A and B are shown apart, each in its own frame.
Chain A
Amino acid sequence: MTVRIGVVVFPGSNCDRDTVHALVQAGAEPVELWHEEASLGGVAAVVLPGGFAYGDYLRAGVIARFSPVMRSVAQFAADGGLVLGICNGFQVLAEAGLVPGALLRNRDVRFLGREVSISAERLDTPFTHALDGAGPLRMPIAHGEGCYFADAATLDALEADGGVLFRYVDEAGNRAAEDDRAANPNGSLRAIAGVINAVGNVAGLMPHPERASEAILGSDDGAGIVRSLVESAAKAVGERRVTVALR
């Protein structure tokens, strides 16, 4: 049986269809979750897709966090459910406090759409375990507010606890310097491209794995991330079933 994975649709989401497509390619059954609905429909995992939720007029993700669906997503996450935020979805997760840090305006204040390379800092998470290796993984970024920021203490704690999930790297695969405009174009602190929460069930990243999941699109390096999520979600369903049976 294919695993059902929810894709939240906010007004202004614009990567929801791409995410649905990538999930189908990875063998999952995507379920669209409307922002006004509190029910998650029993999905095994939730993806918050990219876009401009509610127009992002005030600040990226700041309105979306108050939507009915996000209250349910927060509860789902608290119960150990798998949640992945991509681009705007990452911004929403950060605004909702489900992952640490914040996404600020890009260093040069302009929107940036280009291909970057990232490396997976951990391969033991539900979002990265199916990757062939740490990378470098090539995939696009497309955002105006993607500069990862947190205070030094938070960053140190993140590093110590394995909270850094992805980092921007240069062509040789080495961690990008903060001031490397080519490799770390949005100016993210410590070149952080994605993070994972302490429990290990909620993650967000600015690059778009769903746009780099087929060779015809120039890179299928993102497919491993999507596949990781799908496999982890299937496993979670299995475990939950076992738990229920044991009770």
Chain B
Amino acid sequence: MTVAERSVDLLHRRLGVTDEELGAIRDRLGGRDPNDLELAMFSVMWSEHCSYKSSKPLLKTLPTAGDGVVAGPGENAGVISIGDGQAVAFKIESHNHPSAVEPYQGAATGVGGILRDIFTMGARPIAVLDALRFGDPGDARTRHLIDGVVRGVGGYGNCVGVPTVGGELVFDPTYTGNPLVNVMAIGLLEERQLTLAAAPGPGNLVVLFGSTTGRDGIGGASVLASATFGDSDPSKRPSVQVGDPFAEKLLIEASLELIERGLVEGLQDLGAGGITCATSETADRAGTGIVVDLDAIPRREPDMEPFEVMISESQERMCAAVLPDRWEAVRDVCVRWGLPVAVIGRVTDDGDITVVEGGLDDDGRARAGAREIARMPAAALTSDAIIHERLATAPQHRRAAPAPGAPIDPSDRLPERGMDPGAVLLGLLGTANLSSRRAVFEQYDSTVGADTVAGPGRGAAVLRVKNTTKALVASTDGNQAVGALDPYLGAALSVAEATRNVAITGARPLGVTNCLNYGDPTRPEAFWQLSEGVRGLGDACRVLGLPVTGGNVSLYNESPDGPIAPTPVIGVVGLLEDIGRLVGPAFVTEGDPILLVGESTPGMSGSAYAALAGAAVEDGPPALDLAREVALQAFIREAISRELVASAQDVSGGGLAVALAEGAMWSGLGAQVRVPVATSPAVELFGESPSRLVLTARPRFAPALMLLALQHGLPIEELGVVGGDRLVIELIGAGATGASEERGSRIADALEVPIADLRHAWDHGLARALGWEG
């Protein structure tokens, strides 16, 4: 081995390129070694983050076709028609690793990045939902992280003027060393303005506009996002990008103006991989090449190395393909918005990404004396990047889900264990996971845009579509607690819950975007979790008839504490045709009957109750019947469209008791119900078996509602009635403790809690858990 070869060898490993991958790069370069610049460009583009080299074979199994899909995976965001020439663009993306290193900027640039994915398509961003996951809220580092992340999300979103309307905030010890910051954005566009990220037409100009290019974010994709963390890694801090929401706001307006005026042939934002990624992806999509004029790229600082310029992840930049005779118009728009703009290259017909130092002439050819310092096929960097067939191995000691109807742990008969169900309910409402998210959400602007009908904190977000009767409804959900026990089920449950949250407003789910947060894919067990998760996601979407229109994969979510529990976060957008029929989760009128649709099944593992009680519940997670879920969602949509429903809430975290408490707290109306206990009080009150709804209706509609449920093959029963100033739940039936008398008699272990107490527990839980209030 020569000295030169050895130095290449060192460099590629330092850049995270394996020996096998270096060989594959040589193959794509006709057998020659890449030079240092080329190697840097490959290292970024072949990172897990940019190439999906481990997950691509799995992602191909997901369903992508569906009604009205205008753009699917592979584009910057999924786009689905909502009728009348309009469409919705949406996508979710992670910024986990940057947020762990520098929470404020990590979260802020996460918001910025996903917004660019939306307006790159020609859509005006109208909403952000952030799905945040942290470790124990009492932990000092968690508190530091959440403070920074929340300020970062707000600092960016508030300034760009896109409302933060929902999302999740979940605490679980599994995220102690590796928080998850997943951000979903939604945009609205006229379908005719759909703009694709391609660089067609050899001879067209490649125009870079937005912020200048600096040394920030060098190796963000390769160094940060595609490796696990050491104990503390200040050395990675320079890899975190720095966001400027003001520049982003200008970028939004300039980009949408360029698109509206038809001045660009294709548009791509600069995210991971910077100029290298934007040029190679747009050229590859269009079947063209691009020659980059390195000296023409506006810099933030002098003496930058070519590789730094080519892979910098400086934020708030866009790249457009422009017809030469439209250049002046494009330049004028950018200048008007105060944005630096430059022609940095030409579209070619050779299929290569070429980097030239020393300038291009007016025809896009290298000037005399100029040097070509890199040349490689665009496809080699993107669509023809290496794919790894990873090994998937199920863990040996894997707890299987119980068969439906499996006997439950007798220790779970809560009143017998001396726990007052009323106290358990208050305890659950006050947990960091189930209490009001207000202390966090009120740091966000949730109403800018004047479209927010239902903002954060109470189920799905609802945004009206101006000048129509329509509304868009969105939710994100994940279920790491069940995912830890059964990654297939955890993913499928997340899809079921996210779509259910949308359906219970009366909306029709349109499509699914997903953020797959998993561990190191080179570990067979972690890769098994990923493949099981994708299988669960795909199965659920197929049965529910929903396309997966895109998303993001975040691997290497591991810290010295170990890998995170598998956490696919599912984002769903739905369409409500008539906003006048919107149904919310709060009770509406005293005297309305309360109905429960669906039935509870055993399976307390992974529930909020299990976490609170600290009980070793061994009965496994609850079973999911996807056909039942489909029937349930069809039923509720039909019931709402026939205006039979006053309020609808699904039974999820904390079970039936929490669903009832929410209906009461959010309306100020109490409830008096009787719950039949077939198995154990804990299962009936706090179990989280899916595909269940709590509905209220005007009394005269109850019979029609019950008939409709039966027509959909769904069990339904009347539990009681809305009214009073407290929540009263009586347990009846054979399974109720002390119910040795005849069935239906009142029993001792009822629950009776004033609404004021419910609200107090719910209002203060989060702020107390975080130490924000005493």
Q: Which residues of B contact A52 (CB under 8 A)?
A: 158-159, 161, 245-246, 249
A218-B584 Cα distance, complex, nearest whole Å = 13
Task: Indicate if the CB atoms of B445 and A142 lie closer than 8 Å.
Answer: yes
Q: Nearest chain A CB to B210's CB is how many angstroms away?
A: 13
Task: Indicate if the CB atoms of A217 and B246 lie closer than 8 Å.
Answer: no
Answer yes or no: B466 CB below 8 A from chain A CBs. yes
A217-B451 Cα distance, complex, nearest whole Å = 7
Answer yes or no: A140 CB below 8 A from chain B CBs. yes
| Minimum CB distance partner of B438 in chain A | A114
A-side interface residues, number (CB < 8 Å): 31
A56-B441 Cα distance, complex, nearest whole Å = 22
If the complex has contacts A55-B159, A55-B246, A57-B246, are A18 and B443 also in contact, measured as CB distance less than 8 A? no
Answer yes or no: B450 CB below 8 A from chain A CBs. yes
B-side interface residues, number (CB < 8 Å): 30
A142-B154 Cα distance, complex, nearest whole Å = 11
Q: Nearest chain A CB to B470's CB is how many angstroms away?
A: 12
Contact of A113 among B155, B160, B337, B447 (CB under 8 A): B447
Contact of A18 among B158, B250, B338, B449 (CB under 8 A): B449
A144-B158 Cα distance, complex, nearest whole Å = 10
Q: Which residues of A contact B447 (CB under 8 A)?
A: 113, 140, 142, 208, 211, 217
Contact of A142 among B160, B244, B448 (CB under 8 A): B448
Mark out the residues of chain B between 224 and 258 whose CB falls within 8 Å of any chain A CB in the assembled complex.
244-246, 249-250
Task: Indicate if the CB atoms of B161 and A15 lie closer than 8 Å.
Answer: yes
A144-B245 Cα distance, complex, nearest whole Å = 15
Q: Which residues of A contact B338 (CB under 8 A)?
A: 11
Task: Indicate if the CB atoms of A11 and B158 lie closer than 8 Å.
Answer: no
Answer yes or no: A12 CB below 8 A from chain B CBs. yes
Q: Which residues of A contact B160 (CB under 8 A)?
A: 14
Task: Indicate if the CB atoms of B466 and A21 lie closer than 8 Å.
Answer: yes
Answer yes or no: A22 CB below 8 A from chain B CBs. yes
Answer yes or no: B442 CB below 8 A from chain A CBs. yes
A18-B151 Cα distance, complex, nearest whole Å = 24
Task: Indicate if the CB atoms of B246 and A18 lie closer than 8 Å.
Answer: no
Q: Which residues of B contact A110 (CB under 8 A)?
A: 151, 443
Task: Indicate if the CB atoms of B443 and A22 lie closer than 8 Å.
Answer: no
Contact of B246 among A50, A54, A140, A213 (CB under 8 A): A54
| Minimum CB distance partner of B439 in chain A | A110
Q: Nearest chain A CB to B261's CB is how many angstroms away?
A: 16
Answer yes or no: A199 CB below 8 A from chain B CBs. no
Q: Nearest chain B CB to A210's CB is how many angstroms away?
A: 6
Mark out the residues of chain B between 247 and 285 whose CB falls within 8 Å of any chain A CB in the assembled complex.
249-250
Q: Which residues of A contact B466 (CB under 8 A)?
A: 21
Task: Indicate if the CB atoms of B246 and A12 lie closer than 8 Å.
Answer: yes
Task: Indicate if the CB atoms of A216 and B246 lie closer than 8 Å.
Answer: no
Q: Which residues of A contact B158 (CB under 8 A)?
A: 52, 111, 113, 142, 144
Q: Which residues of B contact A12 (CB under 8 A)?
A: 159, 246, 249-250
| Minimum CB distance partner of B155 in chain A | A111
Answer yes or no: B446 CB below 8 A from chain A CBs. yes
Proximity string of chain B (443-464) to chain A, C-beta cutoff 8 Å, 1 when within and 0 when not: 1111111111100000000001
Answer yes or no: A112 CB below 8 A from chain B CBs. yes
Q: Nearest chain B CB to A68's CB is how many angstroms away?
A: 14
Mark out the residues of chain B between 415 and 443 whose CB falls within 8 Å of any chain A CB in the assembled complex.
441-443
Q: Nearest chain A CB to B122's CB is how many angstroms away?
A: 17
Proximity string of chain A (151-170) to chain B, C-beta cutoff 8 Å, 1 when within and 0 when not: 00000000000000000000
Answer yes or no: A89 CB below 8 A from chain B CBs. no
A85-B723 Cα distance, complex, nearest whole Å = 44
If the complex has contacts A11-B249, A21-B466, A111-B443, are A216 and B453 also in contact, measured as CB distance less than 8 A? yes
Answer yes or no: B665 CB below 8 A from chain A CBs. no
Task: Indicate if the CB atoms of A14 and B453 lie closer than 8 Å.
Answer: no
Answer yes or no: B44 CB below 8 A from chain A CBs. no
Answer yes or no: B579 CB below 8 A from chain A CBs. yes
Answer yes or no: A136 CB below 8 A from chain B CBs. no
Task: Indicate if the CB atoms of B159 and A11 lie closer than 8 Å.
Answer: no
A13-B447 Cα distance, complex, nearest whole Å = 15
Answer yes or no: A51 CB below 8 A from chain B CBs. yes
Q: Nearest chain A CB to B454's CB is how many angstroms away?
A: 9
Task: Indicate if the CB atoms of B337 and A11 lie closer than 8 Å.
Answer: yes
A111, A113, A211, A213: residue with the most chain B Cβ atoms closer than 10 Å: A113
Q: Which residues of A contact B443 (CB under 8 A)?
A: 110-113
Contact of A218 among B161, B453, B579 (CB under 8 A): B453
A102-B18 Cα distance, complex, nearest whole Å = 59
Mark out the residues of chain A between 81 and 118 whose CB falls within 8 Å of any chain B CB in the assembled complex.
110-114
Q: Which residues of A contact B337 (CB under 8 A)?
A: 11
Q: Which residues of B contact A142 (CB under 8 A)?
A: 158, 445-448
Q: Nearest chain B CB to A29's CB is how many angstroms away?
A: 16
A144-B442 Cα distance, complex, nearest whole Å = 11
Task: Indicate if the CB atoms of B464 and A14 lie closer than 8 Å.
Answer: no
A208-B338 Cα distance, complex, nearest whole Å = 28
Q: Nearest chain A CB to B545's CB is how many angstroms away?
A: 30
If the complex has contacts A11-B250, A51-B161, A113-B445, are A18 and B450 also in contact, measured as CB distance less than 8 A? yes
Task: Indicate if the CB atoms of B246 and A14 lie closer than 8 Å.
Answer: no
A27-B445 Cα distance, complex, nearest whole Å = 27
Task: Indicate if the CB atoms of B445 and A111 lie closer than 8 Å.
Answer: yes
Task: Indicate if the CB atoms of A18 and B448 lie closer than 8 Å.
Answer: yes
Q: Nearest chain A CB to B92's CB is how many angstroms away?
A: 22
Q: Which residues of A contact B451 (CB under 8 A)?
A: 217
Q: Nearest chain A CB to B174's CB is how many angstroms away?
A: 28
Q: Which residues of B contact A144 (CB under 8 A)?
A: 158
Mark out the residues of chain B between 295 and 320 whose CB falls within 8 Å of any chain A CB in the assembled complex.
none
Task: Indicate if the CB atoms of B154 and A111 lie closer than 8 Å.
Answer: yes
A55-B441 Cα distance, complex, nearest whole Å = 22
Q: Which residues of A contact B442 (CB under 8 A)?
A: 112-114
- Listed from nearest, the 8 A-B pairs whose CB atoms lie closest are A14-B161, A55-B246, A142-B445, A18-B450, A140-B447, A113-B445, A52-B159, A114-B442
11 contacts between A and B (CB under 8 A): A18-B450, A57-B246, A111-B155, A111-B443, A111-B445, A113-B447, A210-B450, A211-B447, A213-B450, A216-B579, A217-B452
Supplied contacts A142-B445, A213-B450, 9 more A-B pairs, CB within 8 Å? A14-B161, A18-B449, A55-B245, A140-B447, A142-B448, A144-B158, A211-B448, A216-B579, A217-B450
